[in-house]
Structure 1
Amino acid sequence: MSTAGRLTRGQRWATGLAVAATGAIYGLVMVWNGFAGLGEVDGDTTTALIWMTGSAWIGALLAGTLCAPLFGRADAVGWLWSLLGWTLASLLGGAIGGTFVLPVYGTLFGPLFVFGNMVETPWLLPLWLVLIVPTHLRARQLRNGTTAGAG
């Protein structure tokens, strides 16, 4: 099967799940980093952390499924497509997740929150870039019809 082939519906959802897993990791780290300045973590903070991370996961799942065709292509150009896909999925996922956290305002500020935190906390950018790797490799496996190996 060619890496340029169209993804099936199941492969799109599987890619969306890969984006959701990595998006939830990034969302958890980003939100936890935001709460770090608040001092002691109490029940309200824990509830907010769970709600925001869950919203990030849902946003990443839906955005990743929509952007799935951009992931898993071969060669260096495929990595560039994945970078574009990851950027679009992050913007869209931030908007969707932000809507769950705070309707209307979250839709607007969710994407800004995702990328604005990279300016405030520079180590989030390398984390964001590193999370592209497993997503791209998993999508490559799906495109090739394999389930193991680096694709």
Structure 2
Amino acid sequence: MGYEKPLPAPDPETEEFWNGCRDHRLLIQRCGSCGTHRFPPTSFCPHCQSDETEWVEASGRGRVFSWIVVRHPVPREIYAGDVPYVVAIVALDEGVRMVGNLVGIDPDAVAADLPVKVTFENVTDEITLPEFEPIGD
């Protein structure tokens, strides 16, 4: 049986990001003009409005900025076996925020500023999802 949960649909702006995930590399954009990192991908820099863009590999490290614990699966038939799970906003060391599941931790143990690192889940041949896990001592 294949992966039954909703999948992202890469488009021209996000294709490079998803290709990086498939290779287990977390890629984000950096403005070629002012050097500002940005995520999610856009066609121009929100800081200086330049359209010069380059993709760079992020460290994959950051800290939990905010999170929710999902305890009621919607839709139930797809997510019932996953609850409870944590969806976190992670502030990456590069200064951007990214949303992803937080794995490898009891949902009740999550705290603000928890140090995390990216990990990847290969869900299909084409799509690999970034997730985050606590950084061990």
TM bucket normalised to smaller: under 0.3
Q: Which has the higher contact order (CA 8 A, sep 6+)?
A: 1
Q: Normalization by structure 2: what TM-score?
A: 0.26
The structure with the greater share of residues assigned to strand is 2
TM-score computed with the length of structure 1 as normaliser: 0.24
Would you tell me which structure has more helix in proportion to its own residues?
1
